[in-house]
């Protein structure tokens, strides 16, 4: 099960490579490929627990996913919400254990 982790903007920006040069005039296929590769590299630069290829699944359409991984296309995990959900606790200990697992 994936967990959410808050990371700072500075931590993310430090992992990125320099942006490609600005595209002036009409975009060529080479420009587009360089831009896509830069986005894919940035998506893999920040580590997460959701997938071994990090955030590549966000930058890579599901139709291209088979080129990068033999796994099924990763879906973004649902946000767990602001408060833990306890399923039919029977005792105070069950509630405490559920809270500890959620934290």
Ordered by start, the domain boundaries in the chain are: 9-77
Confidence of residue 13 (pLDDT cuts 50, 70, 90): confident
Return the DSSP state at 47: -
Contact 47, 54 (CB under 8 A): yes
pLDDT digits (tens, 9 = 90+) for 42-86: 877 777 776 777 777 777 777 777 777 777 777 766 776 776 665
Q: Which of the pair, 88 or 60, is modelled with greater confidence?
A: 60
For the chain, what is the mean pLDDT? Answer: 76
Ordered DSSP codes for 52-102: TTTTHHHHS-TTTGGGT-SSPPPPPPPP--SS----S--SHHHHHHHHHHH
Of 29, 12, 32, the residue nearest 20 (C-alpha)? 32
pLDDT bucket at 1, cuts 50 / 70 / 90: very low
Comparing 76 with 8, the larger pLDDT belongs to: 8
| Region of 88 on the Ramachandran plot (φ > 0 left; ψ -120 to 50 alpha; else beta) | left
């Amino acid at each position: 099960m994936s967990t959410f982790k808050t990371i700072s903007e500075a931590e993310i920006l430090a992992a990125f490579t320099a942006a490609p040069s600005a595209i002036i005039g009409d975009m060529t296929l080479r420009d587009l490929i360089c831009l896509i590769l830069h986005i894919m590299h940035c998506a893999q630069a920040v580590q997460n627990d959701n997938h071994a290829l990090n955030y590549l699944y966000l930058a890579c359409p599901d139709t291209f996913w088979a080129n990068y991984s033999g796994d099924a296309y990763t879906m973004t995990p649902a946000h767990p919400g602001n408060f833990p959900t306890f399923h039919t606790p029977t005792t105070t200990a069950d509630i405490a254990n559920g809270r500890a697992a959620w934290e």
